[in-house]
Amino acid sequence: MKLSVLIPVYNEKDTVLEVLRRVGEVPIEKEVILVDDCSTDGTTELLKGLDIPGVRVFFHPVNRGKGAAVRTAIPLATGDVIVIQDADLEYDPHDYPALIEPIVAGRADVVYGSRFLGPHRAFLFWHYIGNKFLNLLTNLLYNTMLTDMETCYKVFRADVLKSINLRSDRFNIEPEITAKVFKRKLRVFEVPINYSGRDYSEGKKITWRDGVWAVTALVKYRFVD
């Protein structure tokens, strides 16, 4: 079973090569599709010189957001299973075997890697509270019991993800995916993952404004496509 690793990238010149190295270490048949979202810190120039077997790189001419980069990558994937991988060092690709196991075993259509179930660096307090609120809202709206709706590590049967019509351009891609997965009554598993969260001095980008957009998306997609 072939894994497609989708990596949206924006201003991660200090971490992206290490992420690619760690992805390459995972002993699974895979391809990597990396989409640079018009970086301004030298990431674009770094990636233009990249020549790694199994890694394809695409470039947005203007900055559009994480969701847009993910949506660019999805139709390019040729694997049986798709995982979304951030280009920072918060998430550990060595968790891939555990993440894809429920899909490989035929027990799940989608798998979420939960930061709250596995070993993790201490969270920023208000990010922790914000995540807890978004999880509660998700569970109330969609009658489920997720512990980590906003996790980057969302893994899909490729045919399932490609059949979902996604519209979001920015970080609200996470709640949109979640809403549409649960509205379709897909089989969703959660597994614990390792997490090493960054703070803003280390390059973290998500802010309280993204939380507002997440709430809006969760409510909106409960009632519309």
pLDDT digits (tens, 9 = 90+) for 97-128: 999 999 999 999 999 999 887 665 656 665 77
Q: Which of 40-49, 202-211, 215-224 has the lowest mean pLDDT?
A: 202-211
Residue 217 has pLDDT above 50, yes or no: yes
Strand residues in the chain grouped as ranges (E): 3-9, 30-36, 55-59, 81-84, 110-114, 154-157, 188-192
Residue 15's domain spans which residues?
Answer: 3-223
Contact 137/82 with Cβ under 8 angstroms? no
Helix (H, G, I), strand (E, B) or coil at 88: coil
Domain count, the chain: 1
CATH number of the domain encompassing residue 101: 3.90.550.10
Token readout for 163 is 């059949």
Question: pTM here?
Answer: 0.88
